[in-house]
Structure 1
Amino acid sequence: MRHLISLFSFLLFCCTIANAQSKKYKIHTTAFYNFENLYDTIDDSFTNDDEWTPNGAQHWTKEKYEQKLKNLARVIAEIGTPENANAPVLLGCAEVENREVLEDLIKEPKLQQFDFGIIHFDSPDKRGIDVALLYQKKYFRPTSFSNIPLIIYKKNMQKKEEELEVLDDEVEIKKENNNRVFTRDQLLVSGFLENEEIHIIVNHWPSRSGGEKATTLFREAAGKLNRKIIDSLQQINPAAKVMTMGDLNDGPINNSVKIALGAKGKKAEVPEFGVFNPFEELANKGMGTIAFRDSWNIFDQIIITETFLKSDVSTFSFWKAGIFNKPYLVQTSGPYKGYPLRNTVAEAGFSDHFPVYIYLVKEFR
């Protein structure tokens, strides 16, 4: 009898393993990449892009521009490998001058096979840099998109937090004065990833120019606007799947992310309608996407609503996050050895940021 029981247990174990191995999963990579000054060589009289022209401070020539496109295309094609051979199905982008540079980018030989679509709006940023979303048409079908302005004022920099308002009323916007800080809009895109509706917010929050403390309220306002957008989507559909991605110019533990947006770094702490930031754990491990004075931080993040954290993978669910920092993206010599390999006056590099990505998985049934 003992032998029969042992044999039965062994057969049951083998059947369980066989069943687990027979399950198949679909993986999609979604990513964000700050392209660092992806300018064309043409002087735009409406923006401060003079240095990114052949006669400007960067001596930005056609040859450099074309090399920059090749560099970025190589990275985009490889983000998320080797776990997923396909390029990101969704790629948030920052620091792009206009739609034309994106059209040039997706025509690069390394990217043509992916058939990327483009969603882009011109923003009021004085340097003329915008955010955008690239998406693989085979997998994602956009149904709506809009650019949502972040209205903040310089005069409130030294004032208490409640005086720094995010305005969304057209009447108020008309009352703008010269104290307005013209920064990037927040891009909201809704659509279907295969047959599942998701929403993406692409961000490039106000910089730390002028000092981190002096500008923190601007990024806190950006976090509040993000939270407001997410709340609106959840009011329409409590089960809405929303991801917000971008260069936040703050790390996972700064107030703009932890308090204004309300992002939690541990899955167990995420409440209903809350948001989870998988990059907080990576930051705690000392990893980074950008370096300054030999100190690393993760400014580039992808943050998701708790609806992506379900254990049931019959719909697209979060698997894991990563920073794409392959050796060819790293400076190998000089005072900035170990930093991201960025543009210089001498040659076109990649970016001063590493891209970030998450995997979404779904079980075949």
Structure 2
Amino acid sequence: MNNINITLHQMNNLRLLFLIAFLTPFISVNAQEEKTYKIHTVAFYNLENLFDTENDPEKNDEASPMMEIKADRENIYKRKVHNMARVIADIGTETTGNAPALLGICEVENIKVIEDVANDPLLLAKDYGIVHFESPDRRGIDVGLMYQKDLFQPISKSSHTLKIYDDQTRKRVYTRDQLLVSGELEGDLVHIIVNHWPSRSGGEARSRSKRIGAAKLNKRIIDSLQSIDPYAKIITMGDLNDDPTNASVKDVLKAKRKKKDVKVKGIYNPYINMFKKQGLGTTAYRDAWSLFDQIMVTKPLIEEDFSSFRYYKAGIYNKNYLTNKRGRYKGYPLRSFADGGFTDGFSDHFPVYIYLIKEVN
């Protein structure tokens, strides 16, 4: 099932919710207007070094954690794929009764590994389609989009190269392209951009300009879509290697934390409050949490006319089984690879997701 019932007061702001909490005992149940909404999950997940077991002479894949494993590599690969499928199958299910309709992914070596995930028994019935382009990343990792074919039909797809240079050597840094897919989600035109911005290798300050460059490319893609249609429904998602408060997101994308502050052609980022107010994160390093994985939407997705799909709410999928239970890294994401071996874990990032809802006629 993909329908939920939501009372109107659940869709209003916190002040109104507070008022209704006190008034509800004095209002008959029949006085509350209840509507039925169709709901879908849109998610993003860093699959942490999902490489196959074969050496590709065109890539630096021999340095991947999978290739460094010398014994029982094939079975370990199958286990890694299955673990990824398990998480994907779970994201949003408790609310929608379904796996994500749309899923952006990163840290995948090629289309084969994505196909292996999509064909896992836990996901096979979902009939996921895949959009993927090979990128020039020096590590050989790409981004991709998985979509349920009976819910989403791609219309166009394109890969956008990020040309950036090292501040000191002035040599080009080969990194991930940004993926744009436009299509119809049950008849609604939406545009999805999947990102994996440059890492913080060498330190946050030294690498900052690379992520600023990635944000500028992302903004150009968004601007190009909005130049055609100012009311385009755009979802940009990914592992940004920056928090919601960093300059790339705050100053370049100019993403806002409050819906009321989002102007026409503006961007809303629900993860700002999660990071600033709640201290939540998707990945941890040296006992500090970062919220690098984010999903942002343009203004048309936060309007209150639910005759077409609109943003409902966002979250971090950090269920207990995805976390370390003991030791120095207790509470961290339970990653797949550590100390040169396979942990039978999942990823060093938690997935993120949003719900889109539409009123059922």
1:287 alignment counterpart: 280
CA distance in 1 between counterparts of 2:290 and 2:205 reads 16
1:300 alignment counterpart: 293
Pairing 1:302-341 to 2, within 5 Å after superposition: 302-341=295-334
User: Aligned residues, how many?
Assistant: 331
Structure 1 residues 277 and 55: alpha-carbon distance in aligned structure 2, compared to 1, 3 A threshold: closer
Q: Secondary structure at the match of 2:93?
A: coil
2:192 to 185, 188, 200: 200
1:146 aligns with 2:145: no
CA distance in 2 between counterparts of 1:265 and 1:112 reads 37
Q: Is the 8 A contact 2:243 2:292 kept in 1?
A: yes
Q: Secondary structure at the match of 2:81?
A: helix
1:45 alignment counterpart: 57
Pairing 1:1-365 to 2, within 5 Å after superposition: 15-17=30-32, 20-21=33-34, 23-52=35-64, 56=68, 61-154=73-166, 157=167, 179-284=171-276, 285-344=278-337, 345-365=341-361
Letter aligned with residue 286 of structure 1: G
CA distance in 2 between counterparts of 1:54 and 1:32 reads 22
The structure 1 segments of at least 4 consecutive aligned residues displaced by more than 4 Å after TM superposition are 12-15, 57-60
Letter aligned with residue 282 of structure 1: M
**CA-to-aligned-CA distance 1:172-226 (integer Å, 9 cap, x gap):** xxxxx98110000000000000111000000000000011000101101111111
Q: Is the 8 A contact 1:246 1:301 kept in 2?
A: yes
Q: Secondary structure at the match of 1:145?
A: strand
Per the TM alignment, residue 346 of structure 1 is displaced from its structure 2 partner at its CA by 4.0
Per the TM alignment, residue 129 of structure 1 is displaced from its structure 2 partner at its CA by 0.3
Per the TM alignment, residue 270 of structure 1 is displaced from its structure 2 partner at its CA by 1.0
Per the TM alignment, residue 59 of structure 1 is displaced from its structure 2 partner at its CA by 5.8
1:161 alignment counterpart: none
Per the TM alignment, residue 316 of structure 1 is displaced from its structure 2 partner at its CA by 0.6
**CA-to-aligned-CA distance 1:229-253 (integer Å, 9 cap, x gap):** 1111011011110010000000000
Normalising to structure 2: TM-score of the pair? 0.89
Q: Is the 8 A contact 1:264 1:270 kept in 2?
A: yes
Q: Is the 8 A contact 1:244 1:304 kept in 2?
A: yes
CA distance in 1 between counterparts of 2:235 and 2:228 reads 16
Letter aligned with residue 361 of structure 1: I
Structure 1 residues 303 and 333: alpha-carbon distance in aligned structure 2, compared to 1, 3 A threshold: same
CA distance in 2 between counterparts of 1:326 and 1:65 reads 23
Q: Secondary structure at the match of 1:208?
A: coil
Per the TM alignment, residue 13 of structure 1 is displaced from its structure 2 partner at its CA by 5.8
Structure 1 residues 96 and 312: alpha-carbon distance in aligned structure 2, compared to 1, 3 A threshold: same
2:22 alignment counterpart: none
Q: Is the 8 A contact 1:189 1:201 kept in 2?
A: yes
**CA-to-aligned-CA distance 1:102-147 (integer Å, 9 cap, x gap):** 1111110100111100000000001110000000001000000010
CA distance in 2 between counterparts of 1:210 and 1:57 reads 26
Q: Is the 8 A contact 1:53 1:61 kept in 2?
A: no
CA distance in 2 between counterparts of 1:54 and 1:13 reads 60
Q: Is the 8 A contact 1:52 1:58 kept in 2?
A: no
Structure 1 residues 354 and 197: alpha-carbon distance in aligned structure 2, compared to 1, 3 A threshold: same
CA distance in 2 between counterparts of 1:298 and 1:70 reads 25
Computing the radius of gyration over CA atoms, which structure comes out larger, 1 or 2?
Answer: 1
Structure 1 residues 207 and 218: alpha-carbon distance in aligned structure 2, compared to 1, 3 A threshold: same
CA distance in 1 between counterparts of 2:280 and 2:354 reads 15
Structure 1 residues 346 and 116: alpha-carbon distance in aligned structure 2, compared to 1, 3 A threshold: closer
Question: Tell me, which stretches of 5 or more residues in structure 2 are unaligned?
Answer: 1-26
CA distance in 2 between counterparts of 1:287 and 1:212 reads 20
1:171 alignment counterpart: none
